[in-house]
């Protein structure tokens, strides 16, 4: 189990560049299975989850070449389907959430897709019904081995149809889209997820020859084609990383420039941070956050009632930023309700913040009221364990703002999604070491 030692209470300064988006990378990498031709992908983040998926593709027989930092080429012209039945696949497939998106492309191109119950954050129930109901709607036969938690779908050919998803699942929509692009006829997906990473996937598939309409909306129309060809694709910057660095600047009261953020793909994120009182300025495609010596004040609603920050499917606020926003609120002036609607166990990490002296009332597993200290009292350094990726980065931000030396164990959770985190934080002045 890896550990960070953090000396907090130090102002940071300078520029930080977000990595390529983790959750986009996981979709895009699975899509290389849809063609025997070469697909070149740039801005791939060097993080544990993505590297695990690249290794899985290699075990499936995809020919992979590293072209430079973050750039790889993939050729899926000779796929070893036997690997899907192997014991090794049952172990590797469980290693991350994103592996679930191998199923759609495999089913579409090879008539079968299997997956063990995928891993990822332990943040409550994470069902897969939307994915498999979608494949069944396209004509696939489904089976599930309860003892081994092993899922399988098979179909000689997929047939396009209309479907209304029971929820706007992100990976579910990506998976069904990747199956439908090679189905016979037209597939209509209503209540589709439409976050920027899905838009990126659909645009890439269209460059490969797919016919997808409605990109960016919750109504996708996909006219199936016989085959897809190669393409080149560049990943967007990671919006969750961008939000993490905004939280970091606020909590350490630092002046920070976040470079090349792709503003137009950030949706509500900048405004949500502004509601929390952060002076967040647009400079070209950068976010500039000046030092805020007087702290930041949470806005109330027009009628004076207390602000709620809640997650919702895109274009709502992504749930992955709520832990970071909660930590930031502990030092704001004012109060806020954090409502994590999607996941059931993501707020339990507030216990650690309580140990550090934060004023939080956990009302139930989904809602927490945070009463900010307005920097009148700083958080106390402590020893903690990172329960999941976003709680992990939030605790790291808390530790960087706390006076004294903190330690965070189980930092593998943070490494799942943040590239060279300590190197990049040290470059802006943080005192952090991996021990």
Ligand X SMILES: CC(=O)N[C@H]1[C@@H](OP(=O)(O)OP(=O)(O)OC[C@H]2O[C@@H](n3ccc(=O)[nH]c3=O)[C@H](O)[C@@H]2O)O[C@H](CO)[C@@H](O)[C@@H]1O
Ligand Y SMILES: C=C(OP(=O)(O)O)C(=O)O
Active site amino acids:
121
Sign for the pseudo-dihedral over CA of 323, 328, 331, 334: negative
Window contacting ligand X (CB under 6 A); options: 211-219, 311-319, 325-333, 391-399: 311-319
Residues paired with 286 in a beta bridge: 283
Binding residue (CB under 6 A) for ligand X from 12, 16, 26, 358? 26
45 vs 334 by CB, closer to ligand X: 45
Binding residue (CB under 6 A) for ligand X from 112, 126, 366, 424? 126
Consult the annotation and say whether 97 binds a ligand.
Answer: yes
User: Per the structure block, which two tokens stand in for 420?
Assistant: 């060279």
Asked if 168 interacts with ligand X (CB under 6 A), we say yes
Residues paired with 360 in a beta bridge: 370
Window contacting ligand X (CB under 6 A); options: 5-13, 162-170, 294-302, 324-332: 162-170
Whether the bond into 315 is cis, omega within 30 of 0? yes
In angstroms, the CA 310 to CA 295 distance is: 23
Asked if 236 interacts with ligand X (CB under 6 A), we say no
Report residue 41: phi and psi, to 5°.
-125, 135
Place of tokens 């470059």: 427
Sign for the pseudo-dihedral over CA of 372, 373, 379, 380: negative
Asked if 200 interacts with ligand X (CB under 6 A), we say no
Residues paired with 232 in a beta bridge: 40
Q: Binding marks (x or -) toward ligand X, 324..343, rule CB under 6 A? A: ------------------xx
Window contacting ligand X (CB under 6 A); options: 265-273, 314-322, 379-387, 397-405: 314-322
Consult the annotation and say whether 320 binds a ligand.
Answer: yes
* Residue 415, binding choice from ligand Y, ligand X, none, Cβ under 5 to 8 Å by partner class: none
Q: Binding marks (x or -) toward ligand Y, 221..260, rule CB under 6 A? A: ----------------------------------------
Asked if 97 interacts with ligand Y (CB under 6 A), we say yes
Binding residue (CB under 6 A) for ligand Y from 121, 195, 221, 311? 121
86: Cβ contacts below 8 Å, ≥ 6 apart:
none
* Residue 313, binding choice from ligand Y, ligand X, none, Cβ under 5 to 8 Å by partner class: ligand X
Consult the annotation and say whether 420 binds a ligand.
Answer: no
Consult the annotation and say whether 434 binds a ligand.
Answer: no
Asked if 171 interacts with ligand X (CB under 6 A), we say yes
> Looking only at residues 380 through 399 of this chain, which bind ligand Y when binding is defined by CB under 6 A?
389-390
295: Cβ contacts below 8 Å, ≥ 6 apart:
253, 277, 331, 332, 333, 374, 375
Asked if 18 interacts with ligand Y (CB under 6 A), we say no
Starting at the earlier edge strand, list the strands of the sheet with 231-234: 63-68, 71-75, 38-42, 231-234
Binding residue (CB under 6 A) for ligand X from 5, 13, 97, 367? 97
Residue 223 C-beta-side C-alpha neighbours within 13 Å: 4
Asked if 94 interacts with ligand Y (CB under 6 A), we say no
Asked if 98 interacts with ligand X (CB under 6 A), we say yes
Quote the least distance from Cβ 171 to ligand Y, whole Å.
7
Parallel, antiparallel, or unpaired for β 150-154 and 112-116? Answer: antiparallel
In angstroms, the CA 141 to CA 132 distance is: 10
186 vs 191 by CB, closer to ligand X: 191
Instruction: List for the chain the helix, strand, coil content (%; round to 5).
Output: 35, 25, 40
Q: What string of H, E and C letters represents the secondary structure of 381-416?
A: CCEEECCCHHHHHHHHHHHHHCEEEEEEECCHHHHC
The contact set with ligand Y (CB under 6 A) reads: 22-23, 49, 97-98, 120-121, 320, 389-390, 417
Annotated binding site for UDP-N-acetyl-alpha-D-glucosamine: 97, 320, 342
Annotated binding site for phosphoenolpyruvate: 22-23
The contact set with ligand X (CB under 6 A) reads: 23, 26, 97-98, 125-126, 167-172, 313, 318-320, 342-343
Annotated binding site: 22-23, 97, 320, 342
């Amino acid at each position: 189990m890896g550990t960070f030692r953090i000396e907090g209470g130090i102002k940071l300064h300078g520029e930080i560049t977000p990595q390529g988006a983790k959750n986009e990378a996981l979709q895009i990498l699975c899509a290389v299975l849809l063609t025997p031709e070469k697909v070149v992908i740039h801005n791939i983040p060097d993080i544990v989850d993505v590297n695990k998926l690249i290794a899985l593709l290699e075990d499936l027989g995809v020919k992979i070449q590293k072209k430079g930092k973050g750039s790889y080429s993939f050729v899926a012209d000779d796929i070893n389907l036997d690997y899907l039945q192997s014991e090794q696949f049952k172990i590797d497939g469980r290693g991350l959430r994103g592996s679930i998106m191998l199923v759609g492309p495999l089913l579409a191109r090879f008539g079968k897709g299997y997956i063990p119950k995928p891993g990822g954050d332990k943040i409550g129930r994470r069902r897969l019904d939307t994915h498999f109901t979608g494949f069944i709607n396209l004509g696939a036969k489904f089976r599930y081995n309860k003892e081994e938690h092993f899922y399988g779908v098979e179909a000689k050919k997929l047939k396009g149809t209309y479907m209304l998803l029971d929820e706007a699942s992100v990976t579910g929509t990506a998976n069904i889209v990747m199956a439908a692009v090679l189905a016979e006829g037209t597939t209509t997906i209503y209540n589709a997820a439409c976050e920027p990473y899905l838009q990126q996937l659909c645009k890439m598939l269209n460059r490969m020859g797919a016919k997808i309409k409605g990109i960016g909306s919750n109504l996708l129309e996909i006219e199936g084609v016989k085959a897809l060809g190669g393409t080149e694709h560049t990943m967007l910057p990671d919006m969750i990383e961008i939000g993490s660095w905004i939280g970091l600047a606020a909590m350490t009261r630092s002046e920070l420039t976040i470079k090349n953020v792709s503003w137009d793909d950030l949706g509500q994120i900048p405004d949500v941070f502004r509601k929390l009182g952060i002076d967040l300025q647009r400079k070209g495609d950068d976010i500039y956050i000046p030092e805020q010596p007087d702290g930041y004040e949470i806005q109330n609603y027009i009628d004076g009632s207390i602000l709620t920050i809640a997650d919702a499917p895109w274009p709502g606020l992504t749930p992955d930023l709520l832990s970071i926003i909660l930590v930031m609120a502990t030092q704001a002036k004012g109060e806020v309700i954090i409502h994590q609607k999607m996941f059931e166990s993501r707020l339990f990490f507030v216990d650690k913040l309580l140990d550090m002296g934060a004023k939080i009332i956990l009302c139930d597993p989904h809602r927490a009221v945070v009463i900010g200290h307005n920097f009148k009292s700083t958080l106390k350094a402590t020893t903690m364990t990172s329960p999941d990726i976003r709680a992990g980065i939030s605790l790291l931000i808390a530790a960087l703002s706390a006076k004294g030396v903190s330690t965070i164990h189980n930092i593998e959770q943070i490494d799942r999604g943040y590239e060279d985190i300590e190197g990049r934080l040290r470059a802006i002045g943080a005192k952090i070491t991996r021990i």
